[in-house]
Structure 1
Amino acid sequence: MFKNTAPMVFLVAASLFALPVAADGNATKDEAIAMVGKAAAFLKTAGPEKAFSTFNDKNGGFVDRDLYVVVYDGTGRCLAHGANPKLIGKDLIDAEDIDGKLYVKERVELVKTKPSFWQDYKFTNPTTKKVEPKQMYCEQAGGLIVCGGVYKQ
């Protein structure tokens, strides 16, 4: 009667620890915080080369729906980007959103005074391909800026 109950026990346990998903299927702020924390820890243990490669891999565990990891150095150069590999290696310090906000420059400045923060700007959602309001959560990690965000709809 109780043969092979391990899969069922695992599913019940996993559901108890699952983070809430937004009703529209987008990532939540809690998921963004958790992913950035996981990415910062992985960066510390695996080192930059392996971590950046993993963050850039859509199947590497750091891309989930519209949530992905982005890493910048202290000058605004993009070191990893889970949604747009064309941005990797580029100096984005002067990148503007559609309202003219210098969002990368703001991140570089904010991380100097805050170990973690939320930032509002507009960016292209990789799932809808539309420019949407976004909130980015960022943490300072060993001199780098590790971020992940949610789209507000």
Structure 2
Amino acid sequence: MNRHLRALLLLPALVLPLAAQDGTPAEAEALVKEAIAYAKANGKEAAFKEITKKDGRFQKYGGELYVFVYDMDGKVLAHGQGASKVGVNQLKAKDPDGREFVKERIELAKAKGKGWHDYKYVNPKTGVKEPKTSYIEVWNGCIFGAGIYKK
């Protein structure tokens, strides 16, 4: 068998594991902590810009794992899914089950300062509303978070 054909046959074995990768809870938590460290070192505005930047350092797995930042009133300050979400107040946003997930996120932030919460959200890779869990942590009056889709 010639080497080009062998290389072609091996391609799926190399690509499929990369496509199948999903974020883990540990990665989501680490990404939040990394974003907060970046904000501490470079300032909030620089961090918000980097978090919102398409294909920025705070987006993983083709955009499936990303950082978001809200203020304590539900306004989006930065979002890994793009600038169109920034500036929008999401306090009354509901998931497909009717849960006011942003309101729940703020309540958790105020009560504990950090933690995990569950809701449903559109997966940017599949375009489907899927169960998701997000880790959030408060720093300097802002809620930094990142979530993973439950498979």
TM-score range, shorter chain: 0.7 to 0.9
1:99, CA displacement in angstroms? 0.4
CA distance in 2, matches of 1:57, 1:130: 23
Which shows bigger deviation, 125-134 or 42-51?
Answer: 42-51
Structure 1 runs of 4+ aligned residues shifted over 6 Å read: none
SS where residue 58 of structure 1 aligns? coil
SS in 1 for 2:112: coil
Q: Number of aligned pairs?
A: 133
AA of the residue aligned to 2:76: C
Q: Measure, in 2, the Cα distance between the counterparts of 1:151 and 1:134.
A: 4
**2:42 is aligned with 1:54:** no
Task: Determine which structure has the larger helix proportion and give its number.
Answer: 2
CA contact (8 A) 1:77 1:89 kept: yes
With over 3 angstroms needed to count, the CA separation of the structure-2 counterparts of 1:141 and 1:22, relative to structure 1, is farther
- TM-score normalised per structure 1: 0.82
Aligned partner of 1:68 in structure 2 is 66
**1:91 counterpart residue number:** 89
TM-aligned CA deviation for residue 59 of structure 1: 2.9
Matched, 1:126 2:127: no
Shift of 1:77: 0.2
> What is the aligned partner in structure 2 of residue 15 from structure 1?
none
Q: TM-score, normalised by structure 2?
A: 0.83
In 1, Cα distance between equivalents of 2:30 and 2:87 = 25
Confirm whether residue 137 of structure 1 aligns to residue 135 of structure 2.
yes
1:22 Cα offset (Å): 10
Amino acid paired to 1:118: W
2:100 to 87, 94, 102: 102
Q: 1:23 Cα shift?
A: 9.5
Q: Which runs of 5+ in 2 are unaligned?
A: 1-16
